[in-house]
Every structure is written in structure tokens, then in C-alpha cells.
Amino acid sequence: MASLTDLINLDLSDSTDKFIAEYIWIDAVGGLRSKARTLSGPNNDPTQLPKWNYDGSSTGQAPGKDSEVILYPQAIFKDPFRRGSHILVMCDTYTPAGEPIPTNKRCNAAKIFSHPDVAAEVPWFGIEQEYTLLQKEVKWPLGWPTGGFPGPQGPYYCSIGADKAFGRDIVDAHYKACLYAGINISGINGEVMPGQWEFQVGPAVGISAGDELWVARYILERITEIAGVVVSLDPKPIPGDWNGAGAHTNYSTESMRNEGGFELIKKAIGKLEIKHTQHIAAYGEGNERRLTGRHETASMHKFSWGVANRGASVRVGRDTEKEGKGYFEDRRPASNMDPYVVTSMIAETTLL
């Protein structure tokens, strides 16, 4: 008799040409929702997939008397959970009349990235997503004594060992699942606070950086669901002398990557400084608890930049300075930031 595991892993390819598409979208508070449907035919072009709808009154995105929200497929990834020909579909959200709803940040980002002046510069992004794994029942970091604290920070960053690294099976499962899905995940590491980890997505061009990071977050949520662990994107999950969680965003344009690019990088940083207040306001909820000037952050109240300075708002790498070209890192975004907002805002401020 078949077990539940056998049925979950059932290969459908020899019995049907249909496949399962998991439609993913962002809700009113920046959480992820999804639901599945059966499709047939081509499955590698989002424009060939049907639009769908959901009850927006149940996600805080529409009133009950007019609750229908329309999902527009925008990007396709292989499904590491169902595997085979099944797919994950990143969608954005519209009214039945075709207007983006207020929580649809992808639509405006796509307009910015399709602007000729932006597209010509082929903007690259690499996003460092930090997150904290929490024990499900008590919402306390994984590996920490219940209601208590581990030893002070120092031995946990990039650590190994059962007394220092907590949740590596989840982290490695996520790493491989993202690679399987087609996400350009470029690395992982343990972070400074125990129970906290980081993965990096990129380099990715333009709007694809947001698509890939959102789907990587979705995969992480699904894996922690299986493991019975909670993932937190709170920028300061534990008050006190513990590092917060950010989403450092590395950025370059084609001109910055070519000879003389360092001068253009400095000009771009100058533009970011002028709009520092606007960027801070859009860089994540609760970021004021993280950007204090301590724990490898700059104060949110003052813009700064420097070479190899992890206490600055924007950091330029030694290699970029030495070679006279390359990229820079905006260290201000919080772990819970919307990558569509942050990447398009950086591109708009520096290029338009």
C-alpha cells in the first residue's frame, strides 16, 4: 500500500501532460500567499499562463463587497517541492479593471526598469537576505535556551559546531531548492547572532532581482513550514546587544563596471545622500530599531559612505577602489524590505 510520502512524490509524467502551477503573490502586510491550479500546455512563458483571481477581502487587499483581485503571472520557476514539470509562478496584483492595487509594488518597479535610460545601463543587483530562525512554540531563536540567552556574539558568524550553528539542515535544503528552482542564489553563511543566517541572490538584472528574492523567501517559508520552524524577517528580532537583520543591496550599472566607473559610483552615492530620508522611509518597517550606529550599522539619521566601512550607510569594496570600477553596497535596507521597492528606487535615484 502506498504511503503518504509515496503519494507526495508521485511522478505524473507517465500518466498525464498536465502540470501544477503554484501562483504566488504578496499580501497587504508584505507576507506571501499562494494557491495551486492544474494547467496543460507550455509552462515556460508567463505570458502564456492564464490570469487568475483570489478573495482580496481575506488578505486585506479588497473590501468584501468587491473582493476580487486579479493575479498576473510575471515569472516562472521550477517547483522544488512537487518537482517534475510543476512550476512556481510569481504574480502581481490588479483590480478587475486592470489597475494595479496599492500593494502591487512590482508594477511601478517594472516601469522604472523598462525606462530606456535605465535599461541601457543593465543594472545588476545582489541582495544579501538575512533572516532569523525561531522555535515555533515560543518564538525564540533556534538553539537558544528557552527564555534565556546564549553566550555573547563572537563565535557564531560563519561557525560550525552543534553549540554554535543552529538550523544548518534548513539552510542547506533552502540553498539546493533555490538552485533547483532556477534562482541565482550565490551563497549562504551563518550570521553574527546565533540562529540567524544569510543567503545572497544575484547578480540579477533589473526586475528579476525582486522576482528571485521573493520566490527565494517563499521557498524558505515552505521549508521552515516542513521543519516546524518559524522564519522571521524582523530587522531587530532580539533587543539589546545583538545584531539586527538587514538586506544589504549591492548595485552596479554597466558604466560603473567599465573603466572610470569609480567616479560614476561616487556620483551615484552623492545622489543617494540627497534622497537619504526618502530611501530610509521605504527601506523596511522597524528599521529604526536596527539602524542605530551600532552592530555594523550606520545611524539612520545621518548618511555616510566609505571604502570597506561596514559602519557606513553605503560601503565600497577595496577591489572597486583598487580597480577603479565595480559596484557598491547600500547597507541601509532592512531584512523585511520589498526588493521591488528598494531596487527600483536605487535605479531611479541614480539614473533618472
119, pLDDT greater than 80: yes
Q: Which three cell numbers stand for residue 294?
A: 551600532
Q: Where in the chain is the domain with CATH 3.10.20.70?
A: 4-103
The structural architecture, per CATH, of the domain 116-292+314-351 is: 2-Layer Sandwich (3.30)
- List Cα–Cα distances, 240 to 129, 202, 270, 289, in angstroms: 21, 32, 32, 10
Q: Is the pLDDT at 216 greater than 80, yes or no?
A: yes
Three cell numbers written together for 72: 498576473
Give start and end residues of each alpha helix (H) in the chain: 4-8, 106-114, 116-119, 168-181, 207-227, 254-257, 261-274, 276-282, 318-323, 339-351
DSSP 85-97: T-EEEEEEEE-TT
Cell readout for 25 is: 503573490
Q: What is the mean pLDDT of residues 257-277?
A: 97
Residue 230 has pLDDT above 80, yes or no: yes
Say how far apart CA 164 and CA 196 lie, in whole Å: 11
Torsions phi, psi for 72 (to 5 deg): -105, 115
Question: What per-residue confidence (pLDDT) applies to 66?
Answer: 87
Domain with CATH 3.30.590.10 in the chain: 116-292+314-351
Maximum Cα–Cα distance across the chain: 68
Q: Which residue is it, cell 535544503?
A: 173
Residues 6+ apart with CB under 8 A from 200: 126, 127, 128, 129, 185, 186, 187, 188
The dihedral built from the CA positions of residue 13, 19, 20 and 22, taken in this order, carries a sign that is positive
pLDDT at 64 exceeding the cut of 90: no
Beta-strand runs (E) in 40-174: 52-55, 68-78, 87-94, 124-135, 140-141
Q: Tell me what percent of the residues of the chain surpass a pLDDT of 90.
A: 93
Dump pLDDT digits (tens) for 300-326.
Answer: 999 999 999 999 999 999 999 999 999
**pLDDT above 80 (res 335):** yes
Q: Which residues does 34 contact at the CB level (< 8 Å), separation at least 6?
A: 22, 23, 24, 25, 218
What's the whole-model pTM score?
Answer: 0.96
| Cβ–Cβ < 8 Å for 107, 343 | no
**pLDDT (tens digit per residue) in 5-54:** 889 888 888 889 999 999 999 999 999 999 999 999 878 899 999 999 99
Architecture of 4-103 per CATH? Roll (3.10)
221, amino acid identity: E
**Dihedral angle sign, alpha carbons of residues 207, 344, 268, 247:** negative
How confident is the model over 268-294, as pLDDT tens digits? 999 999 999 999 999 999 999 999 999
pLDDT band at 164, cuts 50/70/90? very high
How big is the CA angle at 202 (ends 26 and 73), to the nearest 5 degrees?
35
Q: What is the CA radius of gyration of the chain?
A: 21
* C-alpha distances in Å from residue 140, one per residue of 73, 78, 132, 248: 36, 33, 10, 24
